[in-house]
């Protein structure tokens, strides 16, 4: 597989974003006060490491197979209702900051994948990037759900 210079540049940008996410979630999982939020950040951080590994594989010339069948139902079962000790409306300001920044990061990263997907000629790479983008959106959903459950993100 031969990547164009533009495709390589996009993958390097995505690699930098994923590396930042890995570092951010490691730091945030150790800095969060609520145990359930620490777990959310830890889980997302593990997935970001997988994304980084996938981008590195593509840069080295191999396109990993992505099994997308049944992913949505697995993710829905896995996510479920957020369990937190925080009382709605009485959230920790530090945790609120961490969540707000993490949610903004997920929005940005998802948008970066969206743009990048359209720049690749190889349909298998597009499929892999689309799969990662969907997982990034699910990360944002988990953070949003936590924020809504604690009153950090009023939905009404």
Q: How many CA atoms lie within 13 A of 45 on its CB side?
A: 16
- CATH superfamily for domain 5-62+91-150: Ferritin, core subunit, four-helix bundle (1.20.1260.10)
Alpha carbons 49 and 71: distance in angstroms, whole number? 18
Check if the beta carbon of residue 19 is closer than 8 Å to that of residue 11.
no
Length of the chain: 156
Give pTM, 2 decimals.
0.85
Torsion angle defined by CA atoms of residues 130, 104, 95 and 155, in that order, rounded to the nearest 10 degrees: -90
Alpha carbons 34 and 89: distance in angstroms, whole number? 14
pLDDT tens digits along 35-72: 999 999 999 999 999 999 999 999 999 999 887 544 44
pLDDT tens digits along 106-138: 999 999 999 999 999 999 999 999 999 999 999
């Amino acid at each position: 597989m031969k990547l164009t210079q533009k495709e390589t540049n996009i993958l390097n940008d995505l690699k930098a974003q994923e590396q930042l996410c890995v570092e951010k979630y490691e730091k945030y999982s150790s800095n969060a006060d609520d145990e359930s939020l620490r777990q959310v950040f830890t889980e997302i951080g593990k997935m970001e490491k997988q994304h980084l590994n996938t981008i590195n594989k593509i840069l080295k010339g191999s396109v990993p197979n992505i099994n997308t069948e049944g992913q949505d139902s697995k993710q829905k079962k896995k996510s479920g209702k957020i369990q937190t000790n925080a009382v709605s409306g009485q959230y920790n300001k530090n945790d609120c900051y961490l969540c707000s920044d993490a949610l903004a990061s997920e929005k940005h990263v998802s948008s970066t994948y969206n743009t990048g997907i359209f720049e690749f000629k190889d349909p298998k790479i597009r499929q892999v990037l689309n799969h990662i983008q969907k997982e990034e959106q699910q990360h944002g959903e988990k953070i949003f759900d936590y924020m809504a459950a604690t009153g950090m993100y009023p939905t009404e």
